[in-house]
Chain A
């Protein structure tokens, strides 16, 4: 038994078990313990992992040979980061959902675990077709999670989200099929994709086809409009999954499947995409200024943050890429923390409107501290995790163009503005009747918040272990692309 197979398929087995538990409350505990198994396995994998040794734990089985696709998975530094993120966040998210009484928990947690397998497939696939299968396999469960357990407007919002996302991925699929037909050995193998020699024009199209899928998933301006609605309407657990892990699929895809596959397309479209990303940062941040719905506010802020990550990737240098890697983890932790916090508030006050909040810090001081720490991570204060990522990302963007960095850097200011404004409206100021009765967090919430805050600070203080995991892989990818683009100086 190859360990990577265990890693990938363990959750789906768990999903089956949890699913069978049906309406029993036991399901959530089982799901949590099961996700801890995955986490343990990841830890073991991490201990065996050698960052400098390229793709490891590879497994290559014949699968869909008639189309030229094999079951080919493996983990390199970049994948490792995302596997770590996935398997680290899912137990946390499950734990965070413990205060909810979701009806039919077996189905709920089963879907989460099912989604985990899809995500892991995406992050480990070395075959385009497999990647696509994982991509969609992660989408279906989250669609159901959001649409079954979501808010009152969930049906309309989620079908839009689903179709929008699938629109992107189908176009990507077309691109993949096209690529596969252009490869020397007519396969979907990642390396074959890398080695395929397409004309610059063809690469442009392939780039656009792939980019659309990733742009919608991330989302990059102007493909983002599904996101605030979906985040708002989804159950908080779903929002955490979407924002914490799911959107990293798009970022990961851009790193592994977009730029190296179509380097000349990237050379052609890269600047445009960069501009879009930067517009997204400013645009989403400005929108976040006046949002009164807290979830929507964080949704827009997430667009802004992801815009920065995207910008860091599309400048395609080591700082940007490494920044993106660590920021993916940081953003995952922070946004999950943020939504967890909002969930606590929303659950107690039964509103998402900041006008009906205020003064919570007085009734719930412990909670206020946790909130503040996560918030500081989000606004990238030094010694929190957000800073490392934003610093490296901005540096990466700066290496490309100083003006771009200056505009992208506005996120530092704007982020502080809307986050502090939200904090002030929610936590500070005068309390009203509802917020006076606000209970401080209970033991379970404390544990979750403590873990999140711990991660926020820990990564902020000592990010090097994470950076070391992905650096060799990032370097070799950059070399690969730059070698193909040829004249690097123009880019």
Chain B
């Protein structure tokens, strides 16, 4: 809770800093604040947490772990933001604040214990993201991304709310515990309204995480938004979305899983297919990452199809692995966009010669995303496959394997371009902060890949 308060206050403080033109202080203050929030969040580590504020929030290990990973990711992204917003607009402080607001919403999302909080958390995050997607005001792509995201997001919110309403209608409460006990007490005559509510919730949440067939917004919005925002969306936001998704279904709906598991199987398969296959043909790194993020949603959905005590840590590991790797990818993307002005695969040609460090870290990221052993991404995939097989979804797993192969193909395009293709290019300059982010993320990826028990047994 104190993390949430810290972040909210931090956002306001940042706004004030902006007001007083203390631009130089923005980044340090934000970083320090986030570190403080991180410390406060972690200090709440408690195995026997109880819901607080009339059952609105529950800061259990799950919530703390996901808060921590989202805060850390945000930290890393902020480290990349130096000079980034300055180029877009004068109102840097506001952007910082909006990101922090979004993060506050995310903290709410991962620790909700009441549908009200879920709803408010999601909306804080979404509204902030609508804004962030459109911060390049003169840029058509950014405009388009903002509008698309906004209209479709608002539309999907309608479904989410309808679902909430139906759940309320069936159970008479917004409290997760109450909803769960409703199912357990009426195992035979669960109201059809309740099932319809679940379906509508699935629609709403699937949209937020970008699972097929509700993924259509994702590639366009990811492409159109500024790279840093896309990084935030595809890492922190996705992680939070999944955390909320999983929490809701684990706590509330697990007794009726036979009803919704086939849906997730279908969604997982569709997401894998659409994400991976479409990514193959992409010519631009950013859009490729957008599609690939859809495919990762597919993998993460595996955790939903056989729920047990390991599902949460599976998603956690996967999300963590995916986040760090994506941050590297986006960091490189930002460097490229700034210095080459282009993010097509051709612009990666021969990076290994001019900047081996950049190439090396990006290679680790790509290997991790592709799920190659000794990287965190592999551990994530392994745990997801494990989940699927624990539910005897063998065909789905084999299908996922085939898709993973397709994934390797397009991730390796980057590696191929960097290492095996020659190119006349200028030296790429990587600022120390970027270097720091790249190094930390790469090291984290490898360490988690080599000794996964560091985080797999957290939750």
Contacts and interface: CB of A to CB of B under 8 A. Distances in A.
17 contacts: A64-B451, A65-B457, A66-B453, A136-B374, A137-B374, A155-B421, A159-B409, A162-B408, A166-B372, A170-B404, A173-B385, A174-B394, A177-B382, A177-B385, A177-B386, A177-B389, A178-B389
**Pairs of residues from A and B, 5 with the lowest C-beta to C-beta distance, nearest first:** A66-B456, A136-B373, A170-B401, A133-B373, A66-B457
Contacts of A170: 401, 404-405
A170 B193 CA distance: 42
Contacts of A137: 373-374
Nearest to A140: B372
B416 A147 contact: yes
A420 to B, nearest CB: 38
Contact of A181 (B372, B373, B389, B404): B389
Interface in B369-383: 372-374, 378-379, 382-383
Contacts of B428: none
A167 interface: yes
Contacts of B389: 174, 177-178, 181
Contacts of B313: 66
Interface in B383-433: 383, 385-386, 389-390, 394, 397-398, 401-402, 404-405, 408-409, 412, 416, 419-421
A70 B373 CA distance: 16
A133 B419 contact: no
B456 A166 contact: no
Interface in A138-172: 140, 144, 147-148, 154-155, 159, 162-163, 166-167, 170-171
B153 interface: no
Nearest to B413: A159
Interface string B293-310: 000000000000000001
Nearest to A175: B389
Given A147-B416, A177-B389, A64 B453 contact: yes
Nearest to B419: A148
A63 interface: yes
B416 A159 contact: yes
Contacts of B394: 174, 178
A64 B376 CA distance: 13
A178 B408 CA distance: 23
A180 B405 CA distance: 23
Contact of B405 (A147, A163, A174): A163
Interface of A: 62-67, 129, 132-133, 135-137, 140, 144, 147-148, 154-155, 159, 162-163, 166-167, 170-171, 173-174, 177-178, 180-181
A64 B374 contact: no
Interface residues of B, number: 33
B412 A144 contact: no
Contact of A163 (B374, B386, B397, B409): B409
Interface string B103-147: 000000000000000000000000000000000000000000000
B372 A136 contact: yes
B228 interface: no
A178 B389 CA distance: 6
Contacts of B438: none
A144 B419 contact: yes
A167 B372 contact: no
Given A63-B451, A64-B456, A181-B390, A155 B416 contact: yes
A180 B389 CA distance: 10
B452 to A, nearest CB: 5
Given A64-B379, A67-B382, A177-B382, 15 more contacts: A63-B453, A65-B453, A66-B456, A133-B373, A136-B374, A144-B419, A166-B372, A167-B401, A167-B405, A171-B398, A173-B385, A174-B398, A177-B385, A178-B389, A181-B390
B367 interface: yes
Nearest to A134: B373
A137 B382 CA distance: 15
Contacts of A178: 389, 394
Chain A contact surface mostly: helix
Contacts of A62: 453
Contacts of A163: 405, 408-409
Contacts of B385: 173-174, 177
A3 B225 CA distance: 54
B345 to A, nearest CB: 12
A181 B386 contact: yes
Contact of B367 (A140, A173, A177): A140
A69 to B, nearest CB: 9
Contacts of B409: 159, 163
A486 to B, nearest CB: 27
Nearest to A62: B453
A204 to B, nearest CB: 13
A186 B47 CA distance: 25
Contacts of A64: 379, 451-453, 456
Interface string B444-459: 0000000111001100
A67 B416 contact: no
A433 B286 CA distance: 54
Nearest to B412: A159
Contacts of A177: 382, 385-386, 389
A6 B449 CA distance: 21
Given A67-B456, A163-B405, A178-B389, A155 B420 contact: yes
Contacts of B402: 167
Nearest to B371: A170
A67 B386 CA distance: 9
Contacts of A144: 419
A458 B405 CA distance: 44
A159 B409 CA distance: 7
A177 B389 CA distance: 7
A381 B326 CA distance: 57
Max chain B Cβ within 10 angstroms of own Cβ: one of A154, A155, A180: A155
A173 B401 CA distance: 9
A185 B336 CA distance: 50
Contacts of A67: 382-383, 386, 452, 456
Contact of A147 (B373, B390, B419): B419
Max chain A Cβ within 10 angstroms of own Cβ: one of B373, B379, B397, B451: B373
A148 B420 contact: yes
A170 B398 CA distance: 9
B309 to A, nearest CB: 11
Interface in B285-336: 310, 313
Contacts of A181: 386, 389-390
A132 B386 contact: no
A65 B390 CA distance: 17
A140 B360 CA distance: 13
B373 A132 contact: yes
B334 to A, nearest CB: 26
Nearest to B370: A166
B389 to A, nearest CB: 5
A178 B386 CA distance: 8
A67 B412 CA distance: 28
Contact of A162 (B310, B382, B412): B412
A198 to B, nearest CB: 14
A144 to B, nearest CB: 7
Contacts of B421: 155
A140 B449 CA distance: 15
A166 B397 contact: no
Contacts of B383: 67
Contacts of A65: 453, 457
A406 B132 CA distance: 73
Nearest to B386: A177
A225 B361 CA distance: 32
A192 B383 CA distance: 20
A159 B284 CA distance: 20
Contacts of B412: 159, 162
Nearest to A170: B401
Max chain A Cβ within 10 angstroms of own Cβ: one of B313, B386, B405, B409: B386
